[in-house]
Amino acid sequence: MKKTIQLLKKHNELREVDTPLDIYLEIPHLAYAEVKKENGGKAILFTNVVDNKSNKKFDEPVLMNVFGSYNRCELLFGRTIESVADEITNLLHMKPPAGFMDKMSMAKELFSLKNIFPKRLKGEGACQTVKYLENDIDLTKLPVLTTWEQDGGPFITMGQVYTQSLDGEMVNLGMYRLQVYDKKHLGMHWQIHKDSSHFFDQYQKSGKKMPVTVAIGGDPLYTWCATAPLPYGVNELLMYGLITKKPVQLVKSLTNDLYIPKDVDYVIEGWVDTDVTKVEGPFGDHTGYYTLEESYPVMEVSAITRKNEPTFLATVVGKPPLEDKYMGWATGKIFFPLLKTTVPDLLDYHMPENAGFHNLILAKMQPLYKGHAKQFMHAFWGAGQMSFVKHAIFVDEKAPSLDNYEVFATYVLNRFTPKSMFITEGILDALDHSSDETLVGGKLGIDATAANSVEAPNLLGDAELLKRVQALISDAKELHQYMRRTNNPVTVITVNKTKNAKEYFDALVSLSTNIRIVVFVDANANDVDNAYMLIWRVTNNMDAQRDVFTSGLMVGIDGTNKSRIDGFTREWPDDVECTKSVVESLKAKSLWDLEENLNNKYQL
């Protein structure tokens, strides 16, 4: 971690804040504003960390936003992201050598692979220099942050969670938020689809407690590896060896049999009683909404160890863009070759950060036969973490770059008809709040590989169209038409909702010669001219089975918050928002320097 800080300083990628700042809201709010800046701002090292509630000052600094730019990602990887992807591609396509030079080249490649396997050491590591056991265990001595006002408490947000199967044959490294309940207990947010949850089931069936060790810090690549979408049972630390050409050196935890890297900054060891659960949350999550209270397993801490001079690593999640934008970019590039083994005719894919990654995927493919795009949709919705994707748009090889949004959207909208849509049901991320039931909901696929042709509507100006809409829908407040030059313009209407959006859509069918795609959003929380955040809102809020309507060539989408008006019986979560008094305090300390236009654009 010290080497990382020096590396960031050397490349002018570090902002140091010496002003005393509180672990409650102040530190995470400032980090949240920093990552909204152009190119992700800088990593921030908070060197004067306090807890005003308990009148405590921490010795260690807090480091945030470490992965928060494309440049910082590659600095931390020590190489280009593309070079890692190319190496995986070469390994997947390795062929028998044809001659002597081929044999020499292959021997060199295979020899380098000897370093990818983690190495277990005897004795203790630097991470175990300072030990807290039994009555000395106290999680409140760590500068764990409370990020948002409605959070259920402080949460560890960059924890490397090490677990193993009941028979010890498989190990897993994952990243899960961890709520600090008290001095000795952590809430384990193991979503049901994750590997650690599968291991938990094994221990629960056998009636045994499950060992868990949480590490914080060390080489930031350990933390990135914890997010790697590797197949079940594959040790994520293999990626560290592949990237760095150095094996991770591991030491055994003091009070259980799990191994962790010797040079992490903190180690929290413990056991999970599989018969005990406790309410965890709420937590302002990377969806930009709070995930609500729910019961999860509890870890009882049996030891805390650390380095002599540790640095506490943390991240902030909420509305996009965030640090996960850049971590997700690296992950997408690196694991593209593995995804192609499932769908070999895939040419490229991209997950826009303002759609929360899993809420929307754009994919370019080589269509070979009728229905090929629908086959891809099924493959995506059945492939590992891709199975959580809610909405997918597929284009052919002639399409423009997937991240050139304006040109890409034009290409899609000029080929779109309602028949391009494929709606089905599948599993959803546990964080999704929009479906009528948890974990399962609607999926929408759009096949834009075929060049369908429809005539453009008879366009009106925004003011004239709003007048006609309000004559039919008294709840309509504002209106804006996007992509007017395409055959399928998108009309966004804000409403003070008193009815189900389907009723609004039905009322507008008489305007089908003027409107092609219409999207409804709530008036009180949306800016009709802010496309970036409208995409965030709508892809979060819609369930395709319930919220997509059609009439002839006209398509409606309900991006409003749902309630009993819609037959929705689950609790609808609040948006994640900064506490205004905290922002004003940071401004008064001359620390908050985010431009007001960005504050408005990203709806902080």
Q: Which residue in 90, 143, 149, 88 sits closest to 282, CA to CA? A: 149
Question: Please, what are the averages of pLDDT over each run of 10 residues along the chain (604 residues)?
Answer: 96 98 98 95 98 96 96 94 83 58 53 79 97 97 97 97 92 94 94 74 93 97 90 85 92 97 98 94 94 94 98 96 92 84 88 90 93 88 83 96 96 96 91 92 95 90 97 98 97 97 97 97 96 97 97 97 95 96 97 95 94
Residue 430 has what pLDDT?
84
Alpha carbon distance 258, 181 (integer Å): 23
- Contact residues for 233 (Cβ-Cβ < 8 A; gap 6+): 165, 170, 195
For residue 305, the cross-strand partners are 131, 267
CATH for the stretch 462-566: 3.40.1670.10
Position 106 scores a pLDDT of: 46
Amino acid identity, residue 153?
Answer: G
Name the pairing type of β-strands 178-180 and 185-188. antiparallel
Rounded CA-CA distance 492/509 in Å is 15
Q: What is the pLDDT of residue 193?
A: 63
What residues does each domain of the chain span?
Answer: 2-78+117-314, 343-448, 462-566
Task: Give the span between the Cα atoms of 375 and 100, in whole angstroms.
Answer: 42
Architecture (CATH level 2) of domain 2-78+117-314: Roll (2.30)
Specify the pLDDT at position 344: 87
Helix (H) or strand (E) holding 296: strand 294-306
Three-class SS state of 187: strand
Q: Which residue reads 């008879």 in tokens?
A: 458
Q: How far apart are CA 54 and CA 73, in angstroms?
A: 36
Fold match flag (2-78+117-314 vs 462-566)? no
Maximum Cα–Cα distance across the chain: 80
pLDDT of residue 111: 53
Contacts of 41 (CB under 8 A, 6+ apart): 15, 34, 35, 65, 68, 69
Name the amino acid, one letter, at 191: Q
For the record, the structure tokens of 533 come out as 């955040």
Cα-Cα end-to-end distance for the chain = 30
Token representation of residue 146: 């409370």
Separation between Cα atoms, residue 491 and residue 10, nearest integer Å? 48
Tell me the pLDDT tens digit for each residue of 70-82: 999 999 999 998 8
* Closest to 45 measured CA to CA, from 187, 276, 259, 217: 217
pLDDT at 108: 56
For domain 343-448, the question of CATH label 3.40.50.170 is answered with no
